[in-house]
């Protein structure tokens, strides 16, 4: 069996960025992915999806995103960018390879895959923090009448015209899907919210909010909480009367839940206009009814659960100490130690500073750790 120096699991932005930086440093890496295309998770985003981060802070190492894509890059343009990036750096992933398990092997590791075993000195996990859709196990879901899908399956309002749709969740996916549906003008949209989100403007007069997140990445909650609350008061209209009171400690809420703030570009106006009606969170499904946390019921024609994702690494990294309580690797781009020596991760994190920007920094740390190790 051929032994590889480095195997990168994942052919999305993190895997491609890591492979390009390693190649520039003279380290050849085999990239594998369970899907049949690069950037597969981005292809499942809804039609109106745009990056939450500004274009000039979203590029991978060594290649800018074309200015023609605009300030906020759309789904299809970003997929085209990933394909062009792989071509430019001559990255040819081995696609359709599903990793099933990982085992230590001498001074390296062996991956058991759908295409046989792969032996490598080092393994880099670049599969992202949002690899697998998470659907709550609501009581009564198995016999619920109306269509129930995860937001990863949503594409456009086209199939919902003239209907009442309940979107469940309070993150960016939930608010963007709800806003997209409402923008059609003929979908009655309800949003079930368990924990009211932190809401910030995506940009103000063309200036993105992202640099503030970058500047405050390492600041303590005692500093960021009052600053975040003040930004909300100054830039976002009071939504308490619409069922969305502002969190008093927004950064502490992020640290506890791992849910990044909602970046508004139409959601607040849709709520204030009544195009989106906010309801309490969902506790159960009963026949054709949705049971809400306050005991009330609703009868939507369809439910879209924008309830997040998980890294989905438990089958591979389920060994002691390799994953934290959120399912994120305990080892990073600098590598693990002890039982995780030779394991690395790139781009598997939940950050306020923008994940795509951080991929480049992760890739640089990875190169330093591998070439100096």
Q: Whole-angstrom Cα distance, residue 205 to residue 52?
A: 16
Clarify whether residues 40 and 80 are in a common domain.
Answer: yes
> What CATH code is carried by the domain that includes residue 191?
3.50.50.60
Clarify whether residues 289 and 346 are in a common domain.
Answer: no
Clarify whether residues 143 and 289 are in a common domain.
Answer: yes
161-193 pLDDT per residue, tens: 999 999 999 999 999 999 999 999 999 999 999
Q: CA of 325: how far to CAs of 214, 221, 314, 318, 357, in Å?
A: 25, 21, 11, 11, 25
Clarify whether residues 143 and 292 are in a common domain.
Answer: yes
- Percent of the chain exceeding pLDDT 70 equals 99
Clarify whether residues 104 and 222 are in a common domain.
Answer: no
Q: CA of 291: how far to CAs of 146, 207, 228, 241, 365, in Å?
A: 14, 41, 33, 22, 48
261-273 pLDDT per residue, tens: 999 989 999 999 9
Q: CA of 29: how far to CAs of 6, 81, 115, in Å?
A: 5, 21, 17
Residue-range definition of the domain harbouring residue 9: 3-131+311-372
Number of domains forming the structure of the chain:
2
Clarify whether residues 210 and 265 are in a common domain.
Answer: yes
Clarify whether residues 199 and 126 are in a common domain.
Answer: no
Cβ atoms of 328 and 340 closer than 8 Å: no
Q: Of 280, 305, 330, which marks where a domain is finished?
A: 305
41-89 pLDDT per residue, tens: 999 999 999 999 999 999 999 999 999 999 999 999 999 999 999 999 9
312-352 pLDDT per residue, tens: 999 999 878 999 999 999 999 999 999 999 999 999 988 88
Q: Does pTM surpass 0.85? A: yes
Clarify whether residues 187 and 277 are in a common domain.
Answer: yes
Cβ atoms of 189 and 220 closer than 8 Å: no
């Amino acid at each position: 069996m051929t032994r590889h120096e480095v195997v990168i699991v994942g052919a999305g932005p993190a895997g491609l960025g890591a492979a390009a930086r390693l190649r520039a440093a003279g380290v050849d890496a085999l990239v594998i992915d369970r899907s049949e295309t690069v950037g597969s998770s981005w292809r499942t985003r809804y039609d109106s999806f745009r990056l939450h981060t500004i274009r000039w802070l979203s590029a991978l190492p060594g290649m800018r995103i074309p200015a023609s894509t605009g300030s906020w890059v759309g789904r299809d343009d970003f997929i085209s960018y990933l394909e062009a990036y792989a071509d430019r750096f001559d990255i040819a992933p081995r696609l359709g390879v599903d990793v099933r398990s990982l085992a230590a092997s001498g001074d390296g590791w062996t991956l058991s895959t759908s295409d046989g075993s792969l032996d490598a000195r080092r393994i880099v996990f670049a599969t992202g923090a949002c690899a697998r859709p998470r659907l709550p196990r609501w009581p009564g879901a198995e016999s619920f009448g109306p269509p129930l899908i995860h937001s990863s399956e949503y594409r456009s309002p086209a199939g919902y015209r003239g209907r009442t749709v309940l979107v469940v969740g309070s993150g960016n996916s939930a608010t963007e899907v709800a806003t997209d549906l409402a923008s059609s003008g003929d979908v009655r949209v309800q949003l079930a919210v368990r924990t009211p989100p932190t809401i910030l403007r995506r940009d103000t007069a063309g200036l993105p909010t992202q640099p503030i997140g970058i500047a405050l990445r390492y600041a303590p909650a005692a500093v960021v909480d009052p600053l975040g609350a003040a930004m909300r008061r100054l830039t976002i209209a009071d939504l308490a009367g619409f069922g969305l009171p502002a969190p008093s400690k927004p950064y502490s809420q992020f640290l506890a839940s791992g849910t990044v703030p909602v970046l508004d570009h139409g959601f607040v106006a849709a709520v204030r206009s009544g195009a989106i009606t906010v309801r309490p969170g969902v506790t159960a499904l009963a026949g054709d009814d949705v049971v809400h946390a306050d005991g009330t019921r609703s009868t939507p024609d369809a439910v879209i659960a924008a309830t997040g994702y998980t890294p989905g690494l438990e089958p591979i990294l389920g060994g002691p100490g390799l994953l934290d309580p959120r399912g994120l690797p305990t080892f990073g781009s600098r590598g693990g130690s002890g039982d995780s020596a030779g394991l690395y991760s790139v781009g598997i994190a939940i950050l306020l500073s923008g994940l795509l920007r951080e991929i480049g920094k992760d890739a640089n740390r990875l190169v330093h750790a591998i070439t100096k190790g």
